[in-house]
Structure 1
Amino acid sequence: MNRIVMTDLEYQNQAESVLKAIEKACDRLNDESDVDIDNQRTGGMITLTFSNRSQIIINLQKPLQEIWMAARAGGFHYKFNGEQWTDTKDASEFFANLSRYASEQAGQPLVFAASV
């Protein structure tokens, strides 16, 4: 797995774009479907709360230059490889995993992507 070295500013810009994409996707999904995702942002953390009260928490880990995601399926760490955020264990892509875990928790298909 290729990992790139980023400055703190580059990390912050890349990671911030992920959080903004998640916020936009939640707004879009709430507008276009009957899903009810409450997304709350506090600094470098977003908490997604679904109608069944389950949550997915995404937060930035600046010292490690990672994004962490906690879902019912478990806890996951992602690093930027120059093109996308990939899981540090199996190299799966962040937004694909977020879509899968959010769909499982919401009980319906949901799609999150880097650009909306």
Structure 2
Amino acid sequence: MGESEFLAQAEATLSRIEAALDRLNDQDLLDVECSRSGNVLEIEFIDNGSKIIVNSQAAMRELWVAAKSGGFHYRQQDGVWRNTRDGSELFAALSALVSAQGGAAVALA
């Protein structure tokens, strides 16, 4: 995958994550504030002040996630962002991370 293709896919993924969190916030299922600065999406949990950071790393062709439980790297495999260590899917993993830090069971789609 070339850099421009990666950047387009990463941008679309960050936008998808942000939109999913905005919907959950609008439905009062989660109290979060998302902010974007370039290739970095910062998710702040209002109730406890914790954060999850999702950003793209063009040189590595990866999306990186930093959460209270650790740091994770995701790379495209057959059109799906997969964890480079355990093969888990990005949105399933983010759902678990957001649920843990946000205090409510949610599913990002």
TM-score category by the smaller chain?
Answer: over 0.9
User: Is residue 60 of structure 2 the alignment partner of residue 36 of structure 1?
Assistant: no
Correspondence for 2:77:
81
1:111 offset after TM fit, Å?
1.5
TM-score after normalising by structure 2: 0.95
Q: Is the 8 A contact 2:29 2:104 kept in 1?
A: no
Q: Return the match for 2:3 from 5, 8, 11.
A: 8
Where does structure 2 lack aligned partners over 5 or more consecutive residues? none
Which is strand-richer, 1 or 2? 2
Which residue type is aligned with residue 90 of structure 1? D
- Runs of 4 or more consecutive aligned structure 1 residues displaced over 3 Å after TM superposition: none
Q: CA deviation at 1:20?
A: 0.6
TM-score by length of 1: 0.90
Q: Pick 1 or 2: higher relative contact order, CA cutoff 8 A, min separation 6.
A: 1
Counting matched residue pairs gives 108
User: Within 1, Cα distance between the matches of 2:100 and 2:29?
Assistant: 15
Q: 1:12 to 1:54 in 2, by over 3 A?
A: same
